[in-house]
Amino acid sequence: MIEKDSKLSIRRQCELLSVPSDMPRSPWENGGIESFFSCLEREVFQRFEIEDFKEMRRLFSEYVEFYNNERMHGT
- Single pTM value for the model: 0.58
In the predicted structure, residue 1 carries a pLDDT above the cut 80 = no
Whole-number Cα distances in Å, 68 to 27, 52, 63, 72: 22, 24, 8, 9
**Domain assignment present for 35:** yes
**Domain assignment present for 45:** yes
**Domain assignment present for 2:** no
Q: How many domains does the chain divide into?
A: 1
**Domain assignment present for 4:** no
**Domain assignment present for 5:** no
**Domain assignment present for 57:** yes
**Domain encompassing residue 19:** 10-69
Q: How far apart are CA 23 and CA 46, in angstroms?
A: 24
pLDDT in tens, 32-49: 778 888 899 999 989 988
| Average pLDDT in the chain | 79
Q: Which residues contact 59 (CB under 8 A, 6 or more apart)?
A: 44, 48, 50
CA angle 10, 24, 59 (to 5 degrees): 65
Q: How far apart are CA 65 and CA 4, in angstroms?
A: 28
**Domain assignment present for 48:** yes
